[in-house]
Chain A
Amino acid sequence: MSAAELMDYDKALELFEPVLGFEVHVELNTRTKMFSPAPNPANEEFHAAEPNTLIAPVDLGLPGSLPTVNETAVRYSISLGLALGCQIAESSRFARKNYFYPDLAKNYQISQYDEPIAHDGQVEIELEDGTLFQIPIERAHMEEDAGKLTHVGGSTGRIQGAEYSLVDYNRAGVPLVEIVTRPIFGAEHLAPQVGKAYVSTIRDIVRGLGISEARMERGNLRCDANVSLRPRGQEKLGTRTETKNVNSFRSVERAVRYEIQRQAAILAAGGTIIQETRHWHEDTGVTSPGRPKSDADDYRYFPEPDLLPVVPSPALIEELRAALPEAPAVRRRRLKEQWGFTDLEFQDVLNSGLLVEVEETARFGAAPAQARKWWTGEIARIANAQEVEASSLVSPQHVSELIALVENGELTDRLARQVLEGVIAGEGSPSDVVKSRGLAVVSDDGALIAAIDEALASQPDVLQKIRDGKVQAAGAVIGAVMKAMKGQADAARVRELVLERASQV
């Protein structure tokens, strides 16, 4: 649907009430896979592995192979369930979800069906204006990821029209937790923002638990967004669509907004919404139809006979509960106070979804105020221009290092921005870039004095003005010296030296 055909957003909200639902898949970063001893590519250490190198017989569904449950993944899932405010099931069971697809080695996925490990929770999210909103959680269940298909030939990169497809089973068997919300009512015109804040909160939670790398651009965190509309005053829920793999916070916001406008236009014109999955197109900002989906999709679920029920002891659950990090809302209040940010400054960080980045940058030694300045300033600016997540551009450790270089005078702000560009371009750490690009501040006073003396000599009138006490006249000299130093000098130091030399020369 072209932009012109969409209904105006405010108009859509006037006529319809949006109801949301989210399914978020979290890849756990355990060392081995959910049901096999093969290394887990969702663990930082193994993510860059060559295709089909992280596989065991189970991951290929070889005849005779059997799954065994990764206990660490179960612990992580329980911790996540607890952090989502869920009840942990006394006994939960794996089930087989049967369907044929070439990325699914066994042609069934081991998942959980009627007995998930965690159920009935609630997550508090904070919106841009600081209001709190509760997201009801239906369940969180454990399952395994499928392999990855690369469709070769054809123009779309999709299976239709491809000449052939390559399968990489590295991802097959990666431990996943799928978090399913109940229908979310009352988001109203803030619905897109609710989606963004929810996914960002889930990321904060799993990062805080340390159970996932949580990098959306790598697929560690994947969101399916369900949207339906019902006419104002109607009780019955409208037909929903499920937009798959909306893989950045910003896209969640855009996709929800788009679906509201698209569905409103269809409904207002007397049309009906087809229950289906939809694909999100990051570049054009639209969704397109996927496959029809009905509630009666028959996956022939039945209890997985190769695995025993998961029966965590109450002692284990309490141990994990006691070890939970503080809830995001509590953490936000603590950090705000600790960092001494104003409301406005702190909201700025939250709304950019950069709380974790600022916190981690500070943990590496940077002043929180500097960390905030860089993340919400220069880095966010570049991220916007490139339409990517700021967190995907540069690591907190590198930002901290950059700030340290400025603090101890090795870089000016202007030079630091050039260094940042280099780091983002993949040229290495900030000190690598300083070296390779030769960007260090000229801190050799001798070189500066020589340039200053030359500038003063060529502008005797300025020299006289300075000597007469008109200190602001020094600006012209400073400018000339900075120019001669190609900007690689600390302007404050130059100013000091100019005043000093002016009184001596």
Chain B
Amino acid sequence: MSTELITMSAAQLAEKLAAREISSVEATQAHLNRIADVDGDIHAFLHVSEAALSTAASVDAARGGGAQLGPLAGVPVAIKDVLCTFDMPSTSGSKILEGYIPPYDATVVRKLREANLVPLGKTNMDEFAMGSSTEHSAYGPTKNPWDLERIPGGSGGGSAAAVSAFEAPLALGSDTGGSIRQPAAVTGSVGMKPTYGGVSRYGAIALASSLDQVGPVARSVLDAALLHDVIGGYDPHDATSLTDTWPSFAEAARAGRNGESLKGLRVGVVAELNGEGFQAGVRQRFDEAVALLAKAGAEIVEVAAPSFEYAISAYYLILPAEASSNLAKFDSVRFGLRVTPEGGGTVEEVMAATREAGFGPEVKRRIILGTYALSAGYYDAYYGSAQKVRTLIQRDFSAAFEKADVLVSPAAPTTAFRFGEKLDDPLAMYLNDITTIPANLAGVPGMGLPIGLAPEDGLPVGIQLMAPAREDARLYTVGAGLETLLEEQWGGSLLAQAPALGVER
């Protein structure tokens, strides 16, 4: 029963909870057991909630009392440590926030609680979401459940690993340049970066404000949609939040399952995101997935996005610039780590010593980059030019969406790489985000979902689907359609093929 409870999809769990075939306490306990069994190896969690079982019990009690609860009530969920939780530490993977418990919940966390989901704990991440491997976490890396020698992607490697190692059915992530989609791709899970402004950023510890977006991580398209329905929508606390009324993403996903939606769908293959430097097995599985879409009646068109070539350069100016300012608040005066130099010091000296001790090398690298890019005399050449590139990329997307309903590319250029492989080569690490960055620069939604294992290494490969801004529902429909076709081929979910972990109970 315990194994069944953890391998079940969130949608199935929710159904059984609603039918009172199982209790939330049982479901929560099963996941806590799984965490106890495997997280020593995986290290997906930085903190496991002590309140999970009592929360689950109160949901069960409410249900027992006849309360009308939301679709995911009683389902456990893991929360990326970038999100503020008033009852758990929120460190964003950094030493500078070690033990910091915010006095408030992020809006998305508040919505989870209001929908009666059960927070299991906080997941590991690259420090302040800067990285593609979780190797930059101040608390040690997370391992890929497919191969413990390999990275689970980043920055949201903790959330992706938790879901793919069956430690949680659902997780929240945040995506600034691919931090939801790339980990999903390399762990065989599903991750969605919503339209910028579709999900509140309030209480998400900011990396780059104009790029950050919170989104769902799950093992199926429908599960991601169900979670997106809970966390999405307008938030008056976030001025960049969209006031749109959103359709039900779960309905959109369910509608996609019959495959009808793929007939006549115009699928644009982005030439610039599938070329040199992409692993052969990644390209192979991607081409097969595109062929599968064509077989289902989709019309495949090649689209050009000439400005995507400059996306990484622009991104690595805009992100550090905004980050250098966003991270200035970590100065020891009001919260977090405080390091006083020997023999005391002025406030400036204390600030400097704290930041020296509290930030890791990647964070320092980006603060220096960003500070430089914003400096008087360099602003126009760097930040100003990067913003122009951003406009050009948005135009490329507009032109491409004239020809295609969705755009597709591999979700990442390679499968999971080995620990240490790119740690000393920041540029190689940055290039791993080449496929995912354009969607952040343009604010359009992007989804990563598994399309098979690369023949050469047996590791998961993901596809990225992108739609015009506000068309998140389209991705759920198309994603569910493709997922259904693939699972028919595989005879089940890809994750069923993942190696066993820890001890079976």
Q: Which residues of A contact B (CB under 8 A)?
A: 57, 60-69, 96, 98, 100, 102, 105-108, 165, 167, 296, 298, 300-302, 305-308
Known A-B contacts A65-B202, A108-B325; A305 and B210 likewise in contact (beta carbons under 8 Å): yes
A66–B201 contact, CB under 8 A? yes
B335–A66 contact, CB under 8 A? no
B239–A302 contact, CB under 8 A? no
Chain B residue nearest in CB terms to A36: B237
B335–A62 contact, CB under 8 A? yes
Q: Which residue of the partner chain, among B210, B239, B321, contacts A66 with CB atoms under 8 Å?
A: B239
B328–A108 contact, CB under 8 A? yes
**7 cross-chain CB contacts under 8 A:** A62-B102, A63-B102, A63-B329, A96-B325, A298-B376, A300-B324, A305-B210
The reply to whether the CB of B398 lies closer than 8 angstroms to some CB of chain A is no
Give the distance in Å from the alpha carbon of A108 to the alpha carbon of B325 in the complex. Answer: 7
A165–B329 contact, CB under 8 A? no
B203–A102 contact, CB under 8 A? no
Give the distance in Å from the alpha carbon of A198 to the alpha carbon of B352 in the complex. Answer: 42
Give the distance in Å from the alpha carbon of A98 to the alpha carbon of B103 in the complex. Answer: 26
B103–A107 contact, CB under 8 A? no
The reply to whether the CB of B209 lies closer than 8 angstroms to some CB of chain A is yes
The reply to whether the CB of B206 lies closer than 8 angstroms to some CB of chain A is yes
Known A-B contacts A98-B325, A108-B328; A66 and B238 likewise in contact (beta carbons under 8 Å): yes
Known A-B contacts A62-B335, A67-B239, A306-B209; A57 and B104 likewise in contact (beta carbons under 8 Å): yes
Give the distance in Å from the alpha carbon of A296 to the alpha carbon of B100 in the complex. Answer: 38
Give the distance in Å from the alpha carbon of A184 to the alpha carbon of B56 in the complex. Answer: 70
* 8 A Cβ contacts from B187-233 to A: 201-206, 208-210
Q: Give A102 Cβ to nearest chain B Cβ, in Å.
A: 5
Chain A residue nearest in CB terms to B351: A100
Q: Give A152 Cβ to nearest chain B Cβ, in Å.
A: 13
Chain B residue nearest in CB terms to A297: B376
Q: Which residue of the partner chain, among B104, B237, B333, contacts A102 with CB atoms under 8 Å?
A: B333
In the complex, chain A residues whose CB is within 8 Å of the CB of B376: 296, 298, 300
The reply to whether the CB of B331 lies closer than 8 angstroms to some CB of chain A is yes
Chain A CB within 10 Å, residue with most, of B203, B239, B321 = B239
B325–A64 contact, CB under 8 A? no
B239–A64 contact, CB under 8 A? no
| B375-394 Cβ-contact flags toward A at 8 Å (1 or 0) | 11001000100000000000
B329–A64 contact, CB under 8 A? no
In the complex, chain B residues whose CB is within 8 Å of the CB of A102: 331, 333, 347
Chain A residue nearest in CB terms to B387: A303
In the complex, chain B residues whose CB is within 8 Å of the CB of A167: 333
B334–A64 contact, CB under 8 A? no
Q: Give B323 Cβ to nearest chain A Cβ, in Å.
A: 11
Chain B CB within 10 Å, residue with most, of A61, A108, A306, A308 = A306
In the complex, chain A residues whose CB is within 8 Å of the CB of B237: 66, 68
Known A-B contacts A98-B374, A108-B325, A302-B383; A64 and B106 likewise in contact (beta carbons under 8 Å): yes
Chain A residue nearest in CB terms to B352: A100
Q: State the majority secondary structure of interface residues on B.
A: loop
B239–A308 contact, CB under 8 A? yes
Q: State the majority secondary structure of interface residues on A.
A: loop
Give the distance in Å from the alpha carbon of A300 to the alpha carbon of B84 in the complex. Answer: 28
In the complex, chain B residues whose CB is within 8 Å of the CB of A165: 347
A64–B351 contact, CB under 8 A? no
In the complex, chain A residues whose CB is within 8 Å of the CB of B375: 298, 300
The reply to whether the CB of B83 lies closer than 8 angstroms to some CB of chain A is yes
Q: Which residues of B contact A (CB under 8 A)?
A: 83-84, 90, 92, 97, 100, 102-104, 106, 201-206, 208-210, 236-240, 321-322, 324-325, 328-331, 333-335, 347-348, 351, 371, 374-376, 379, 383
Q: Which residue of the partner chain, among B201, B206, B240, B329, contacts A107 with CB atoms under 8 Å?
A: B329
B236–A68 contact, CB under 8 A? yes
Q: Can you name 20 extra interface pairs (CB under 8 A) apart from A57-B104, A61-B329?
A: A57-B103, A60-B334, A60-B335, A62-B103, A62-B104, A63-B330, A63-B335, A64-B83, A66-B201, A69-B239, A105-B329, A108-B328, A300-B375, A301-B374, A301-B379, A302-B321, A302-B383, A305-B240, A306-B206, A308-B239
Give the distance in Å from the alpha carbon of A60 to the alpha carbon of B97 in the complex. Answer: 15
Known A-B contacts A68-B236, A68-B239; A100 and B329 likewise in contact (beta carbons under 8 Å): no
In the complex, chain B residues whose CB is within 8 Å of the CB of A63: 84, 90, 92, 97, 100, 102, 205-206, 329-330, 335
B328–A98 contact, CB under 8 A? yes
In the complex, chain B residues whose CB is within 8 Å of the CB of A69: 239
Chain B residue nearest in CB terms to A58: B237
Give the distance in Å from the alpha carbon of A418 to the alpha carbon of B374 in the complex. Answer: 62
In the complex, chain B residues whose CB is within 8 Å of the CB of A298: 375-376
In the complex, chain A residues whose CB is within 8 Å of the CB of B335: 60, 62-63
Q: Which residue of the partner chain, among A68, A296, A302, contacts B325 with CB atoms under 8 Å?
A: A302
Q: Give A263 Cβ to nearest chain B Cβ, in Å.
A: 28
Chain A residue nearest in CB terms to B333: A102
B379–A302 contact, CB under 8 A? yes
Please name the 10 residue pairs, one residue from A and one from B, whose CB atoms are nearest each other, closest first: A107-B328, A300-B374, A305-B209, A305-B210, A64-B203, A61-B329, A63-B205, A64-B84, A298-B376, A106-B329
Q: Give B122 Cβ to nearest chain A Cβ, in Å.
A: 13
Chain B residue nearest in CB terms to A169: B334
Give the distance in Å from the alpha carbon of A308 to the alpha carbon of B102 in the complex. Answer: 26
Give the distance in Å from the alpha carbon of A69 to the alpha carbon of B333 in the complex. Answer: 25
Give the distance in Å from the alpha carbon of A26 to the alpha carbon of B90 in the complex. Answer: 38
Give the distance in Å from the alpha carbon of A68 to the alpha carbon of B240 in the complex. Answer: 9
A100–B239 contact, CB under 8 A? no
Give the distance in Å from the alpha carbon of A301 to the alpha carbon of B371 in the complex. Answer: 11
Q: Give B165 Cβ to nearest chain A Cβ, in Å.
A: 27
In the complex, chain A residues whose CB is within 8 Å of the CB of B106: 64
B84–A302 contact, CB under 8 A? no
In the complex, chain B residues whose CB is within 8 Å of the CB of A67: 239
Give the distance in Å from the alpha carbon of A63 to the alpha carbon of B104 in the complex. Answer: 10
Q: Give B160 Cβ to nearest chain A Cβ, in Å.
A: 22
Chain B residue nearest in CB terms to A165: B347
B371–A64 contact, CB under 8 A? no
Chain B residue nearest in CB terms to A57: B104
In the complex, chain B residues whose CB is within 8 Å of the CB of A61: 329, 334
B210–A64 contact, CB under 8 A? no
Q: Give A104 Cβ to nearest chain B Cβ, in Å.
A: 9
Q: Give B330 Cβ to nearest chain A Cβ, in Å.
A: 8
Give the distance in Å from the alpha carbon of A107 to the alpha carbon of B331 in the complex. Answer: 8
Chain A residue nearest in CB terms to B384: A302
B202–A64 contact, CB under 8 A? yes
In the complex, chain A residues whose CB is within 8 Å of the CB of B83: 64
In the complex, chain A residues whose CB is within 8 Å of the CB of B333: 102, 105, 167
